[in-house]
Structure 1
Amino acid sequence: MTTELSLLTVSLLIVFLYQLYRIGSRDSTLPPGPPTVPLLGYKAKFSSDCFRSIHLKLSEWARKYGDFYSLKMGPETFIILTSAKAVKEFLDMRGPSTADRPAAHIPEQVHEGYSLAFGRYSTALGSRWKLMRKTVHAILTPASVEETYPIQFAESVQLLYDLLHDPKSHFQHVRRLLVSIIFSVLYGKRVPRYESYEATSMFDLLHLEEQLFLPGAQLPVDTFPFLKYLPEGPLAPWKKKCRDLKGLHQRVYFGSLEQCKDRIDRGESVGCLMEQIFERYQKEFGLTWQEVSYIGGTLLPGGIDTSTSLLQGFILSPLPFECSIQPRNQKIADLIHKHFVDAIDVFTQYEGALQQEDKEYVARIRSSLV
């Protein structure tokens, strides 16, 4: 009996060790990819700063393994798509099997499943996520976009004024521009100065999200779930950051929405998008206060973050070519004083050429990364 028990124990131990060894290994049915190591998959091949330039490594592997390949991260498998053809095949033609998102524990602690950016179809809140998405589609129509043109024009005029009178603060001026446009469109209130609470708190919020959500910023709690149970402190700094970010969400998203609700109650609606949701879609779709708040909380950073970076890059990109650009700028300035109509025609051509050059400039940067 003792011998049989010993054999059973040894057999179970061998099976356990084999299964443990298999963690991080690539199944034969998966596409090819970088070599793996037991338990960790490919992670052991990275330094602590690797995720800051992971796009370079992914591009290197794309050249070696093709349009799509697999990566092992502990027990999880990721399929990397590196071409438009691969994206269309996997996300479009196989939509039902690729529509959902993977679990994201850290964002879940902040948004509680109500974020349009991190929401999942397969959870209990999947049906609510679809209603939130339906609401966004209802308010973001071509007609509603055209209605924002006067706001964009007015804020652009202030940007030009600020750049002329304080060019050294161009970084902050661009930030103020985008914050003011998006806040005006969504919540019906301007942000006239970068020092305004809305601007400073918004970028504090974005920076904290970067610290929490960027790949490699925190321990891989989704890959190794036992890390979720680490006590708050040096080993789990994300727990305090999640609380801080959630508090910022409450003050920025929920606070701005409260101001919209107060205007509606006073009969002073200005027609902004969040007021439209309150006055129509909240009742039509049965949206809760939290769901409406996170609709704004998804659109707000989505409209500010990438647009700010793009415009700042557009302003900075001609600087290396200042010697060749400055004479052309002077030519336009001289024409404005003499022949305004001709100046408009020249400026239109110049603006088109500048936009085209900027596109090629960005394309060259992207090609250098690939």
Structure 2
Amino acid sequence: MPSALTALDIFLALIGGFLLRAFIARSRQRAPYPPGPKGLPVIGNVTEMPTSHEWFKFAEWAERYGNIIYLNLLGQPMIVLNSAEHAVALLDKRSNIYSDRPVLMMGGEIVGWKYSLVLSPYGQRFRDYRRFIAKVIGGPTQVKALLPQEEYETRRFLKRILNDPERISDHIRKTVGCVILKISHGYEVQEGHDPLVELVDTATEQFSLVTSPGAFLVDVFPLLRYVPAWMPGAGFQKKAREWRRMVERVSDEPHEFVKTRMEENTNIPNFTSELLQSETLVGDKEFNIKWAATSLYAAGADTTVSAIYSFFLAMTLYPQVAERAQAEIDLVVGSDRLPNFEDRPNLPYVEALVKEVYRWNPVAPLGVPHRLLEDDMYDGYLIPKGSIVIANIWFVPKILHDPKLYANPFVFDPARFLPEDGHMPAPDSKNYCFGFGRRICPGLHLADASVFTACAMVLATFVITKAVENGKIIEPEVEYTSGTISHPKPFKCTAKPRSAKAEELILSVDEQN
């Protein structure tokens, strides 16, 4: 039986691997790499990599080095794209070679998220997942069939806010979970405490943390995975074991729930059961169905929650925006019913408000890293094969926070998307916040419908204001968590019905079911 690796073995292997990689790279280099911080011998830019809110540091580097930045992480090239022009040119127009995913040692290999759609390498499993998901939510036509359920769950959301306005964040998670778990597994979420919703929430929060660039040293030094948990600095091993058990539960338990219901003939039609019945279950087909369903609700739950919570933060800070949106809803919809998805074409300001929610603080500031499959020449630079390529969606300086395109970019202003005061509308944020190329979010139509429906119905029924405690107004801070999915940090606000008629509409949800 081979002996365990010593710390010296690991160190020597790391140095040897770096030197070999550096020699190969130098021997094949035909053009300069893009500019970037110089770094140190051997380790490159490892010590300069931020461990949280990386998009701010990348934006700072862009001001110094330009919109294509090259980083060296112990011989592993990383390219940061800080402009939409470059992101579209590479990740969209050359998606045939930019659609792979890097191996994330901590989040993918050790914890186990490598089987999810978002981390799957570009290949047959990835294509199976996309094909499965496209059947259910792949386009406007498929999503249209789900709108009645979406609108019903949003009305229940309004009622939860009315009954308990102190727990808006919890109500958002509950509502999004109700929609997605019903679609993915036919699971009907319980009111109050629901174990499956809480399981999904915990797992998706861990996914965001464990896949954040630079968060774990083992992603830079992969051989550290063999270091025993008792060694100094190897505390990630204990965390990885706990999180891996959570990943196994979040993929297995909902799947077994569906199979049991199918055996009992009590199944509600859903994504998983329909595929189990329609697909030929040979090889790893059932495994792929299970993980496609896991990907569907795990990814959709967290991103949509973040966007809707950002909406509440924006309405708390910008009451004039809410008032203008409410005036539009009152004029178009009236006060005798709630707005629905069919009203969307007639609510241009509300539509612009949703675009501004996506732009103001993107839910995935860096997206998920891409991996280049072969050497590429672009703009006079060599981008070497195997490069990790990141689009800084938060910054995208010529798009989401560029004052040349968005006056006062840190101000929440939906009017920037409307042809007012003689100016052209700003670029649509939806073209960038859902990702690029063949890795674009497959659930973007459902997510967008969810966010619009929540925004429109909340605006129609509630006045959202700053909280007051002991006679003092509580000013919310615009602060967001780090991680692959970024959420507003908890803040206080109040939500009260706009009128007696609005309250009546909220309470009528059970009658409309």
Shorter-chain TM-score bucket reads 0.7 to 0.9
Per the alignment, do residues 96 and 359 of structure 1 end up closer, same or farther by CA in structure 2, a change over 3 Å counting? closer
Higher helix residue share: 1
The one-character-per-residue Cα deviations of 1:118-162 (angstroms, maximum 9, x if unpaired) are 1224xxxx4334333332333434343222112111111111111
Aligned-partner SS, 2:80: strand
Aligned counterpart, 2:180: 182
Q: Among residues 132, 144, 164, which one is paired with 1:146 in the alignment? A: 144
CA contact (8 A) 2:128 2:288 kept: no
Identify which range, 136-145 or 66-75, moves more after superposition: 136-145
Rg comparison, structure with higher value = 1
CA distance in structure 2 between the aligned counterparts of 1:168 and 1:342, rounded to whole angstroms: 25
Deviation, 1:330, is 10
1:102-181 residue pairs with structure 2 within 5 A?
102-106=102-106, 107-111=108-112, 113-121=114-122, 126-142=123-139, 143-181=141-179
More off after superposition, 35-44 vs 161-170: 35-44
1:32 lines up with 2:35 in the alignment: yes
Identity of aligned residues (%): 23
SS in 2 for 1:108: helix
**What is the aligned-residue RMSD (CA, Å)?**
3.6
Matches within 5 A, 1:186-265: 186-219=184-217, 221-233=218-230, 235-265=233-263
CA deviation string 1:292-346 (max 9, x = no partner):
221111111111001001011112211123488579969989x99xx856998xx
| CA separation of 1:61 and 1:280: change in aligned 2, threshold 3 A | same
Which range moves more in the overlay, 348-357 or 198-207?
Answer: 348-357
Structure 1 pair 41–350 and aligned structure 2 pair: CA distance change class (3 A): same
Q: Distance between the aligned counterparts of 2:210 and 2:321, measured in 1? A: 43
* Aligned CA distance change for structure 1 residues 198 and 177 (closer, same or farther; 3 Å): same
Higher-strand-fraction structure:
2
The equivalent residue for 2:64 is 64
Is the partner of 2:318 in helix, strand or coil? helix
Q: Residues 328 and 210 (structure 1 numbering): CA distance in 2 closer, same or farther, change over 3 Å?
A: closer
Q: 285-294 or 252-261, which moves further after superposition?
A: 285-294
Contact map agreement 1:101 1:119 (CA 8 A) in 2: yes
Going from structure 1 to structure 2, the CA distance change for 1:296 and 1:65 (only over 3 Å counts) comes to: same
Query: CA distance change for structure 1 residues 327 and 164 in 2, over 3 Å: closer, same or farther?
Result: farther
Contact 2:67–2:83 under 8 Å retained in 1: yes
Measure, in 2, the Cα distance between the counterparts of 1:328 and 1:81.
35
Q: Partner of 1:117: helix, strand, or coil?
A: helix
User: Would the alpha carbon gap of residues 171 and 350 (structure 1) be closer, same or farther in structure 2, given more than 3 Å must change?
Assistant: farther
TM-score, normalised by the number of residues in structure 1: 0.78
CA distance change for structure 1 residues 246 and 96 in 2, over 3 Å: closer, same or farther?
same
Specify every segment of 5 or more residues in structure 1 that has no aligned partner in the other structure, as ranges: 1-15
Residue identity opposite 1:243 in structure 2: R
Give the one of 281, 284, 309 matched to 2:279.
281
Does the 8 A contact of 1:281 with 1:287 survive in 2?
no
**CA displacement at 1:282 relative to structure 2:** 4.6
Superposed displacement of residue 188, structure 1: 0.7
Q: Contact 1:186–1:274 at 8 Å: present in 2 too?
A: yes
Kindly indicate whether the alpha-carbon contact (under 8 Å) linking 1:332 and 1:343 is maintained by their aligned counterparts in 2: no
Structure 1 match to 2:44: 41
CA distance in 2, matches of 1:330, 1:93: 41
The one-letter code sitting in structure 2 at the alignment partner of 1:245 is: W
Contact 1:187 1:275 in 2 (8 A): yes
Q: Distance in 2 between matches of 1:147 and 1:361?
A: 25
TM-superposition CA deviations, 1:46-89 (whole Å, max 9, x none) = 5xxx3322211211222333332211111111122222321233
Compare relative contact order (CA 8 Å, sep 6+) and give the higher one, 1 or 2: 2
Q: Quote the offset at 1:229 in angstroms.
A: 2.0
Q: Is the contact made by 2:258 and 2:273 (CA closer than 8 Å) also made in structure 1?
A: yes
1:116 offset after TM fit, Å? Answer: 1.7
| Cα 1:22/1:189, change in 2 over 3 Å | closer
Q: TM-score scaled by structure 2?
A: 0.58
Amino acid at match of 1:36: G
Q: Tell whether 2:275 aligns with 1:270.
A: no
Indicate how the Cα distance of structure 1 residues 352 and 139 shifts in structure 2: closer, same or farther if over 3 A, else same.
Answer: closer
1:167–1:277 distance in 2 versus 1, CA, 3 Å: same
Q: Please report how far the alpha carbon of residue 261 of structure 1 lies from its aligned counterpart in structure 2 after TM superposition.
A: 1.2
> Where does structure 2 lack aligned partners over 5 or more consecutive residues?
1-15, 362-399, 402-408, 411-513
Contact 2:310 2:357 in 1 (8 A): no
**Per-residue deviation, 1:250:** 2.8
Instruction: Tell whether the 8 Å contact from 1:317 to 1:358 is kept in structure 2 after alignment.
Output: no
Q: 1:318 to 1:350 in 2, by over 3 A?
A: farther
Distance in 2, matches of 1:277 and 1:69, equals 43
- State the Cα deviation string for residues 101-121 of structure 1 (Å, max 9, x = none): 222212112337422221224
Q: Matched residues in 2 for 1:331 and 1:274: separation?
A: 40
- 8 Å contact 1:176–1:192 — kept in the other structure? no
